Structure 1
């Protein structure tokens, strides 16, 4: 391979890595998360306005699903315990949306260039999914535990209460709920500053 081509590919790959947002250094504090990535607050607020899922709940979902990693996929299984094999699902990105559900989202509400590896679209997807679950199952958008169970098991699985045979899923849902509650309390202390940080923001209208 010509040296110039190798150099060009290296530059592209290096530049691409620079553009990928790094996971928050302190995922335990939502104010710190948004201080490091303030645009994420704007995306979450837009999703809440469009679909109704609270910001804290959206971010707790992302924390659980991807640990704020943009390009993560489920680890591969291993054939005979040694040979890397297929992945257990097509889940990808911040929200770990699987291919069929992402395609439904794109057909129903997603923008033309939406990507699962972009926080803006991942948060909108979470909002869309929860709004659909609310319509189908009558779940409250303030009930983080049931929303996450429906997110993990799917609306049909939730309706059949498949999670009752999977205690580990219930534990994860409880953990997501605890993170959402903590995030909600933290957000109350910094949301005004986040709303009013833009140069065009005028107090008290932005509060």
Structure 2
């Protein structure tokens, strides 16, 4: 019978990390994953980051997949050979910057596959971008350019040689605006307690 218990635990663990059924609607995401909403609210409170912005970046970077990896390199366009970078997890954080995050926040047990940690990392990174390069937290277009190119790359304006990155940054901005509009329409509902939500659903 022990193996049945193990299978049950594994199945429950798998359910906990399933991607949102409607990743294009932040209200649907939060209704489906109340723990994600709690993480988003905590990040907003701790880092003063509008919660729709890190969600728009996570959508772009990993599609809300906890074990997402950077694309593979190929030799002669055919033979797989390593990865393009060490980016991994919900936030596609690379090894070095993830280590810096854990050290500076004293969060040594943080995992890139844990949604709460990924959200906290996003808040920290955006806060650092504001401190290092003077980019306001609400300027998600330039925040994303920093996220993609790194703080040094942003200062060197490496994105100017990468028109596709600028297109992606505009897409992130548009998605952030969409998520923000959606969230404004459901925030009151989401902030109700369990019994209040149950009562209003009857």
TM-score by length of 1: 0.86
Partner-residue secondary structure (3-state), 2:82? coil
Partner-residue secondary structure (3-state), 1:77? strand
Structure ranking higher in helix proportion: 2
Q: Does 1:176 align with 2:169?
A: no
Could you tell me which of 37, 48, 54 is aligned with 1:52?
Answer: 48
Aligned length: 194
Matched residues in 2 for 1:89 and 1:16: separation? 31
Q: Does 1:71 align with 2:67?
A: yes
* Cross-structure match for 1:103: 99
Could you tell me which of 99, 108, 115 is aligned with 2:111?
Answer: 115
Q: CA deviation at 1:52?
A: 1.5
* Cross-structure match for 2:152: 156
Q: CA deviation at 1:14?
A: 4.5
Segments of 4+ in structure 1 off by > 6 A?
Answer: none
Matched residues in 2 for 1:166 and 1:13: separation? 45
Point out where structure 1 has 5 or more consecutive residues left out of the alignment: 1-6, 202-207
* Cross-structure match for 1:187: 183
* Cross-structure match for 1:126: 122
Q: CA deviation at 1:84?
A: 2.1
* Cross-structure match for 1:4: none
Point out where structure 2 has 5 or more consecutive residues left out of the alignment: 198-202
For the aligned residue pairs, the C-alpha RMSD in angstroms reads 2.2
Matched residues in 2 for 1:65 and 1:169: separation? 12
Could you tell me which of 38, 42, 46 is aligned with 1:42?
Answer: 38
Q: Write out per-residue CA displacement over residues 171-201 of structure 1, whole angstroms, 9 at most, x where no aligned residue.
A: 0000000000000011011112222234699
1:94, 1:117 within 8 Å by CA — same for their partners in 2?
yes
1:20, 1:70 within 8 Å by CA — same for their partners in 2?
no
Partner-residue secondary structure (3-state), 1:95? coil
